[in-house]
Structure 1
Amino acid sequence: MTTKSQQSAARRAFLKRTLAAAAVPAAATLIGGTLPGTAAAAEASDLPEFAPVPRSALGPALNADGYFVGRIKGNLYWVTDSYYQSMFLSTRDGVVLVDAPPSIGRNLLRAIDDVTRANGRPSKVTHQVYSHSHADHIAASAVLGKDVVRIGHTETRRLLLIDADPNRPAPTVTFDDRYTLRVGGERLELAYHGPNHTYDNIFIHAPDQETLMVVDVFYPGWVPFTGLAVSQNIRGWVTAHDEAMRYPWKTLVGGHVGRLGVRSDAALQQQYVADLDASTRATYDSLDPTPFFDRYGPSGNAWAIFKTYLDAIAQQAALPVTAKYTGMLAGADVYTTDNAFAMLESLRADYGVLGPSGIHP
């Protein structure tokens, strides 16, 4: 059993490493130096090393034009460039496209043409569904032209009218809770289950194909992107995992990475999030803030106190989770600290877990 003095020494050693790692000479790169991206930027050999990506995280090889298109089931297909994903239904009356990531761009039209030429169906996109308003998922919508019927959540329309981006025309058909889209003998069930990644992100279910598309929630084979998918409502984002698992799907289209998902992928991410939550709560409860107040309090630098303290919690909370999932989920060593920080801020702001900052008797 360790003594209090040993625990204190270990804590201070950890904090020393944390503060040293945080001491990045940012001013040197901006004042009298060069900006990132110029000729004097770091060589590739100077960049950090990360754990190898498990083969299980990788998707199918791309063709010469830089995309892959494959059948999910029946007349439902998906397209990827290994970073983003879209899906579409080939119907007897035209094509229903879900999202239009600009990184795939006009390759979406090539992929649709590949499929429709093979099955003898119309190649024209007649309907498009927006999962949510973010440009990285729908900013190639403009290549479809003006005659497409665009469908999205009411909030998506409101946000896109504010953005006034010609690459993302606002949907003309909107819904608040649920909407059934039927085109050419095919159907999609659209549903809004509350805010999660964004305040307009919806669930797109293809029941006949046993497929669910929910974007920026699950990352099959990978840990979530930085800051728990840069989500605007972390509590809702966590709840969205449970909501997705209530659907009777076999195939998941997550909007990102290079492969589709199955239910075991979703369950594994749920476990990752649960482990991150537990580790962050435990670290927040146990990491003593006194050294941070002692160091920065006398100068009145409140921001320095909380930055170093909260960064230290995130880094320490991430350690066991990173160790557990490295080799199991790609990017565990890349984004788990960032994800722990997002979890910490949500625990403080959304869940009322105040740790040492709470009211004590």
Structure 2
Amino acid sequence: MTAEPTGSDTSRRTLLKRATVAAAVPTVASLLGSFPGTAAAGDAPDLPDYAPIPAASVGPALNADGYFVGRVKGNLYWVTDTYYQAMFLTTREGVVLVDAPPTLGHNLLRAIQEVTRANGKPSRVTHLVYSHSHADHIGAASLFGKHVVRVGHTETRRLLRIEADPNRPAPTVTFDDRYVLRVGGERLELAYHGPNHSPDNIFVYAPDYATLMVVDVLFPGWAPFKGLAASQDIPAWIKAHDIVMDYPWRTLVGGHLGRLGVRADATTQQQYVADLLASTRAAEASVDPAPFYEKYGPTGNSWAIFETYLDAVATTAAAPVAAKYTGVLAAADVFTVDNAMVMLESLRIDFGELGPFGVRP
């Protein structure tokens, strides 16, 4: 196990010091090698080039099994494979795990064994907390057996009962607003602040360690994932950034990518989102819809009008934002057009800013 900084040592300087780009990220060829019949990346024609990943965006190097496990502080640990993250508490009664991403899978068991052997705590996972119902974050939940206590929001249980996925057994303990999970002298404060990324996404706070885990809202060091993290309620997802900042955390577990977050990361993403919102509004006001109506209106192809106009607005909106954040947030040049498109759709259908598709005189 690689030791993690504790308390206030979980700082940007510490994260920068341990960032190693080449060692932390598995090669595409090694990933594709896991899937029979897939071609190596070098065989794929005309793949685009993107800006280099800033060193500050990358986390610690992975071990030979493809994961990193480290201490946040005290009995609180985190695990990553550079794509997904989980968090766990070791207690005198067993382990409390938050999320079970399938890309980590059996490496979660290895990480827990590694830690508990070192600290002399029981290794059995007694409680598994679900951040939300999505399979990419809890799709390995079945690995922990039938007797683990599964804790999640009431809506998570409803959704998982509908899905009936054997890899994601429904929670056995649920709550509506707040729940304090106490196990073996440790505690986690679970809270539901309404829908954001998903209808059931919760906040998991470890007050003794000033650590917050909230998934698919903040992406420390990186631009948000495609389509504003594929979120279902964009206004609520934006509001969730403010709720995150209301917590007195020093360390953030965001559920994705290779490193922990600090408060400066949250501030940077808030600014990215604010800039994207402002740029999208400006682009909607500046892009003339007339050429799109003139070209496709006579043909009766309404979808072509929408497609070309919305694409033009999203591309216009994304350009200054991607330019500003390239080199600041990793992959700002990868997903900002997609993020602008989703922001534009939210402006139209959530905020009622319809542009040329509004009520006409």
Could you say what secondary structure the match of 1:181 adopts?
strand
Match of 1:318 in 2: 318
Residue 139 (structure 1) aligned with residue 130 (structure 2): no
Could you say what secondary structure the match of 1:86 adopts?
strand
State how 1:12-31 maps to structure 2 within 5 Å: none
Q: Which sections of structure 2, spanning at least 5 residues, go unmatched? A: 1-36
Match of 1:86 in 2: 86
Could you say what secondary structure the match of 1:46 adopts?
coil
Deviation of 1:42 (Å):
8.5
Deviation of 1:353 (Å):
1.2
Any idea what the Cα deviations from partners look like across 1:131-165, whole Å, max 9, x if unmatched?
00000000111110000000000000000001111
Match of 2:151 in 1: 151
Match of 1:225 in 2: 225
Give the partner amino acid of 1:175: F
Any idea what the Cα deviations from partners look like across 1:176-198, whole Å, max 9, x if unmatched?
10000000000000000011000
Instruction: Pick closer, same or farther for the CA change 1:145–1:313 going to 2, 3 Å.
Output: same
Structural RMSD (CA) = 1.4
Q: Which sections of structure 1, spanning at least 5 residues, go unmatched? A: 1-36
Instruction: Pick closer, same or farther for the CA change 1:291–1:38 going to 2, 3 Å.
Output: farther
**Partners of 1:73 and 1:193 in 2: CA distance:** 26
Deviation of 1:357 (Å):
2.4
State how 1:154-233 maps to structure 2 within 5 Å: 154-233=154-233
Match of 1:43 in 2: 43
**Partners of 2:259 and 2:86 in 1: CA distance:** 11
**Partners of 1:41 and 1:295 in 2: CA distance:** 39
Match of 2:106 in 1: 106
Instruction: Pick closer, same or farther for the CA change 1:263–1:39 going to 2, 3 Å.
Output: closer
Say if 1:94 and 1:123, in contact at 8 Å, map to a contact too.
yes
Give the partner amino acid of 2:116: T
Could you say what secondary structure the match of 2:65 adopts?
coil
Deviation of 1:360 (Å):
5.4
Deviation of 1:41 (Å):
10
Match of 1:237 in 2: 237
Match of 1:328 in 2: 328
Deviation of 1:285 (Å):
1.1
Match of 1:70 in 2: 70
**Partners of 1:104 and 1:39 in 2: CA distance:** 23
Query: Alignment identity in percent?
Result: 74
**Partners of 2:352 and 2:287 in 1: CA distance:** 18
Any idea what the Cα deviations from partners look like across 1:217-256, whole Å, max 9, x if unmatched?
0000000000000000011100000000000000000000
Give the TM-score normalised by structure 2: 0.88
Match of 2:269 in 1: 269
Q: How many residues align?
A: 325
State how 1:50-65 maps to structure 2 within 5 Å: 50-65=50-65
Instruction: Pick closer, same or farther for the CA change 1:258–1:158 going to 2, 3 Å.
Output: same
Could you say what secondary structure the match of 2:261 adopts?
coil
Say if 1:100 and 1:137, in contact at 8 Å, map to a contact too.
yes
> Which moved further from structure 2: 348-357 or 160-169?
348-357
Instruction: Pick closer, same or farther for the CA change 1:294–1:238 going to 2, 3 Å.
Output: same
Any idea what the Cα deviations from partners look like across 1:35-54, whole Å, max 9, x if unmatched?
xx877998345200000000
Match of 2:24 in 1: none
**Partners of 1:45 and 1:220 in 2: CA distance:** 31
**Partners of 1:286 and 1:157 in 2: CA distance:** 45
**Partners of 2:294 and 2:279 in 1: CA distance:** 26
**Partners of 2:272 and 2:360 in 1: CA distance:** 31
**Partners of 1:38 and 1:163 in 2: CA distance:** 29
Deviating above 4 A after TM superposition, structure 1's stretches of 4 or more consecutive aligned residues are: 37-42
Any idea what the Cα deviations from partners look like across 1:98-147, whole Å, max 9, x if unmatched?
00000000100110011111111100000000000000000111110000
Say if 1:102 and 1:137, in contact at 8 Å, map to a contact too.
yes
Give the TM-score normalised by structure 1: 0.88
